Each structure stands twice: as structure tokens, then as C-alpha cells.
Amino acid sequence: MTIRIKHLSVTFDSFQALKSVSISVEKGESFGLVGESGSGKSTLLRAVAGLAPVGAGTIEVNGEALSGHWRSRAFRRAVQMVFQDPYASLHPRQTVDRQLLEPLAIHGIGDGEKRILKALDEVGLGSSFRFRYPHQLSGGQRQRVAIARALIVEPEILLLDEPTSALDASVQAEVLNLLEDVRSRHGLTYIMVSHDLGVVTHMCSRLAVMKSGEVVEALAAADLAGGRMVSDYTRRLMVASKGFSREASR
């Protein structure tokens, strides 16, 4: 499933979050969107998902043009999203089991029992987690449940909105490993948003750097790591990511 975004503009009330953005993602690729707050990276992801008002431009997934908020049933199964805040992405009043059952019920997929157990197993949670409520889970465990929920309908594309930025460093490593593992096993396509260059270069092969609603530069992760970037802004991001130094902060 390829994704082609051409000259996409998104406006919220009077604020233009995306200004004529164009990127393309090949099937099976892991593509990163990097930027600071207000860059529009999350908005781009939500626009693909159908959660943001599109002003102009086109989004094509596998040749099929998407419009407005509506997405077909097939799309809703093929494209899933993992959100940033593990404390907000699970329904507080429903057990893990119920939340994993929901996508199956919506799409009319049978074999619920088997699939739920398989999904939990795949994200490294045992069946003992099945009937817990979110408040009984740690941040990392909640994020695993969110990933299981996204995977249970067997999607082809995963949209990841800063999936590990709210997690502790050690938990982040586990979740990143899980995401990589899942991707290689199922041949998924990822679009991952992050503000952390280390995470993006680790997880993605190509990335786009965004600032103030525009794509500043699109380059391969290897080029970014090797310092072969074109834009000054990208270079500044790189330097800032390396930590504090007296010279850098002047």
C-alpha cells in the first residue's frame, strides 16, 4: 500500500497547520516525520487517518483518492493508528478484553477469543492481562495494548504518533523493539511521527523534517546520521539532539 500526499493543506479555524505538504511512502517502508511542536507532523498523520479537516491537496492510498473525513470500511481495516499518550488512548471504563473485541465486532471478524489471545501474546502480554482495566496497567503495558488493538484487525499501514515519547527510556526500548519486530513479521508500512531524532533514525529508513506546517527537507536516515543534510534547520536539530554543550547553546 503506497501513500502519496500532494500539496496537502489543513486549516483549523484560522490557523494553517499544513501548507502544501507533499510526501510519498512506499509499501513496506518505515517513514519518519520529524519536527518540533507546531510543525504539523501530527496533523499530517491525522489528515491521513481522516481526523483533520483537509483544505486543499490530495491524499492517495494505493491509488485510491481520499476525501474529507470519510474513509471506506476497507480503509478502516487497513490503516490503524497508535497514539502518543498511553494514559489517554485506552477507554478508562473498559477491560483490555473488551477494547480488543471492539474492532473485531465493528468489522464483523469472528474467532474473537482466539484472536484476542493471539494479539496479547504478540505484544508480549500474557493472558493474565486480558481482564484488567487500564488503571491497573503501567504506561508501557497500556501502549502494548494500544498496539495490540491496532494489530488485531490485521492492518497494512500503521500510523504512529510519538508512540514512545511518554514512556520511560527503558520501556521505550522494549516498545520500539516490539514495533520493529511486528513490522518485519507482518510486512507493515509505518509512518512514524517523533520529535526525537534518535528514535526516528533508529526506526525509519527515510524521513521528512517539518517546520511550521512545511516540509523543510526529506532525506534518508543514513544521510541524517552522517551529517549529509541540506537545510540549516535540520542541522540545528541534529546538534540540539546531541545534548547540551556550551558552544552549541550560544
Partner 1 sequence: MTDPSSPASESWRDWLLTAEPHSRHQARLGRAYVTWRRFSENRLAVAGLLIIVALVLVAIFADLLAPHSATVGNLAGARLLPPGSPGFLLGTDDQGRDILSRLLVGSRITLAVVTLVAIIAAPVGLLIGTVSGFAGGYVDAVLMRITDIFLAFPKLILALAFVAALGPGIENAIIAIALTSWPPYARLARAETLGVRNSDYIAAVRLMGASPARIVIRHIMPMCLSSLIVRVTLDMAGIILTAAGLGFLGLGAQPPLPEWGTMIASGRRFILDQWWVATMPGIAILVVSLGFNLLGDGLRDALDPRGTGR
Partner 2 sequence: MTPLLTVRNLSVTYPTRTGIIEAVRGISFELGRERLGIVGESGSGKSQTGRAIMGLTPPPGIVRADALSFSGVDLLKAGPATWREMRGGRMAMILQDPKFSLNPVMTIGRQITETLRHHETISKREARRRALEMLEAVQIADPERVFSLYPHEVSGGMGQRAMIAMMLVCGPELLIADEPTSALDVTVQLEVLGILDRLVRDKGMGLIFISHDLRLVSSFCDRVLVMYAGRIVEELATADLASATHPYTRGLLDCTPKIGESRHPLPVLERRKEWAA
The footprint of partner 2 (CB under 8 A) covers: 36-37, 139, 168-174, 176-177, 180-181, 195, 197-199, 201-203, 224-226, 236-246, 248-250
Out of 9, 24, 62, 95, the residue judged to bind partner 1 by CB under 8 A: 95
Residue in the structure block whose three cell numbers are 496537502: 8
Q: Under the criterion CB under 8 A, does residue 140 sit at the interface with partner 1?
A: no
Q: Does 146 interact with partner 1 (rule: CB under 8 A)?
A: yes
Sheet holding 54-61, edge to edge: 15-25, 3-12, 54-61, 64-66
Burial of 41 (0-12, 13-18, 19+ CB in 10 A): buried
Rounded Cα–Cα distance for residues 104 and 116 (Å): 9
Name which of 49 and 160 has its Cβ closer to partner 2. Answer: 160
Q: Which of 7, 26, 27, 106 binds partner 1 (CB under 8 A)?
A: 106
Residue appearing with cell numbers 509505518: 190
- Nearest distance from C-beta of residue 223 to partner 2, angstroms: 11
- Greatest CA span in the chain, whole angstroms? 60
CB of 70 to partner 2, least distance (A): 34
Helix axes 112-122, 96-107, angle to 10 degrees: 120
Q: Does 128 bind partner 1 (CB under 8 A)?
A: yes
Q: Which does 243 bind (CB under 5 to 8 A by kind): partner 2, partner 1, none?
A: partner 2
Under the binding rule (CB under 8 A), the answer on residue 132 touching partner 1 is yes
Closest to partner 1 by CB, 7 or 73: 73
Q: Which of the listed partners (partner 2, partner 1, none) does 90 bind, with a CB threshold of 5 to 8 Å by partner kind?
A: partner 1
**Shortest CB 73 distance to partner 1, Å:** 6
Q: Which residues of the chain form contacts with partner 1 (CB under 8 A)?
A: 49-51, 71, 73, 76-77, 79-81, 83-85, 88-95, 97-98, 102-103, 106-107, 128-129, 131-133, 135-136, 146, 149, 153
